[in-house]
Structures are given as structure tokens and as C-alpha cells.
Amino acid sequence: MLERIPAYTDAMLDETGTLSDRVYRHLADRLIAGRFAPGDKLSLRAVSEALGLSIMPVREAVSRLAAEGALEVAPKKAVTVPLMRAAQFRDITQVRVEIEGFAAALACKTATPESLAEIEAREREFRELSEQPQADLAQAVAANQAFHFAVYRAAGSAELLAIIERLWLRVGPIINLDLRENPERLRLGGAVQAHRACLLAIREGRAEAAREAIASDIGGASAFILSRQRLLD
């Protein structure tokens, strides 16, 4: 089961696609899973050495991630995981509420028995992980991601999915850093409740309720982060 959760796979191991593609997926997965903290530096040469490659594929991968705002690269300076100002975080949150809420609403109309079963399985996994007193944080983050993307995939829009993936690439490091510093947020159960509400809404085809459930999930986490986390400003 664990193998299916992105945080526990390494894109470098599957031998499909070019080296650049694999490095891109490798870094993207680690960013979404929060394995990098905002402000972290990484060097093309260091990464390429760690991966046993020349710097070319790393260069291309980093350049793509930079184009999507997932990394920042200033000429002749080290590549960094972006720091985010509070205003920027509020902006991206508002956009996520709109877009991910729309995807959830769409999923109500397009969900198939298969995708619904997938959503239910992910909901259960996340709930069970959250209820454990000593939850593995990395695992919980991955399970949360798995639930959300099960919903978004059910919407059946490749365009929407790609946009949402890019958004998660940017907020991944922040959400994860916050959860690491405030693990009690998991036990408060806000996310579990929102997921449950979302699941029920999709099961019953109530689009507006699904949108609100996702909005409250995202909004709740963001409000918490804005209150606790020292973002820039």
C-alpha cells in the first residue's frame, strides 16, 4: 500500500522518459512532500553528483521547476526553495480555494464508481493515520495529498489537475514545515472532518457542498499556518 503513495517512491528509479524528466519528477515529488524547507539551498552540481549524473539533466529539471515558481534561481547564486510572504500565501490560498473547490464540485458530476472507491479508500487511510496518537507526519502528509488528488482526478480534467499540481508544488514546502512544527494540528481533526464532508458530498452529488468542504479544508489549514508560522512580513 505504501508504495502507492508518492512520497515513498523515487522517480529516479523508474526508467521511463529522459533523465531530465526523471530528475524533474524526483525533485517535484520531494517538493510536494515537503522534503525541502522554504529557504533551503541546493546546487546543481551537488544534486547531479548525488544522483550520479552530469549537471545537464538537473539543470533542465531545475529550470522547469523555476518556471513554475517551485524553485528560485538567480544568476550565479544558489538555487533556493522560495520563501513566501504572508500576502503571497494569502493570494495562493484564495486561488487554491477557487480552483480546487471547482475541481471538487466538478468531481460530483463526473465521479465514477471506481474513482469514488478510490476517494473512499484514501479518506479512510488518512483518517486512520490521523487518529493514531503517534502519527508519522510524512506519511500523514502523503495520505492527505493522496486524498485530495483522488478527488481532483475524479473531476476528469487534465488541465485542472496540472494546474493544481503546480499549486501544490509551491505550497508543499510551507504546509509541511508547518505540520512539522505544529504536529498537534493533525490531531485536531479539522482536515479529517473536511475530507469526510467532501466524500459524502461527492457520493451524493452535492457539488456546492463538496466545494465548501474543500474550501474549508484549505482555508482552515491556511489560517492556522498564517497564525502560527513566521512567514516573511
Partner DNA sequence: TGCCGCAATCTGTGATCACAGTTAGCTTCC
Partner DNA sequence: GGAAGCTAACTGTGATCACAGATTGCGGCA
**In 10 A of CB 105, how many CB atoms?**
20
Tell me, what DSSP letter sits at residue 42? E
- Binding status of residue 209 toward its own copies by CB under 8 A: no
Least Cβ distance, residue 163 to its own copies (angstroms): 6
> For residue 21, what is its C-alpha cell?
524528466
Among 114, 158, 184, 230, binds its own copies (CB under 8 A): 158
Rounded CA-CA distance 51/43 in Å is: 12
- Chain centroid, CA 111 distance in Å: 21
Least Cβ distance, residue 11 to its own copies (angstroms): 15
Q: Which of residues 75 and 113 has its CB atom nearest to DNA in the complex?
A: 75
CB 157 within 8 A of CB 20: no
Q: Which of residues 98 and 204 has its CB atom nearest to its own copies in the complex?
A: 98
By CB under 8 A, what part of segment 86-125 binds its own copies? 88, 91-92, 94-95, 98-99, 102
Which positions ≥6 away from 94 have C-beta within 8 Å?
A: none
3-state secondary structure of 72: strand
Quick one: three-class SS letters along 66-121? HHCCCCECCCCCCEECCCCEHHHHHHHHHHHHHHHHHHHHHHHHHCCHHHHHHHHH
By CB under 7 A, what part of segment 18-77 binds DNA? 18-20, 42-46, 53-57, 59-60, 63, 73, 75-77
Q: Which of residues 100 and 123 has its CB atom nearest to its own copies in the complex?
A: 100
Using CB under 7 A as the criterion, which residues of the chain lie in contact with DNA when the complex forms?
A: 18-20, 42-46, 53-57, 59-60, 63, 73, 75-79
Using CB under 8 A as the criterion, which residues of the chain lie in contact with its own copies when the complex forms?
A: 18, 20, 24, 59-60, 63-64, 67-69, 75, 88, 91-92, 94-95, 98-99, 102, 157-160, 162-163, 166-167
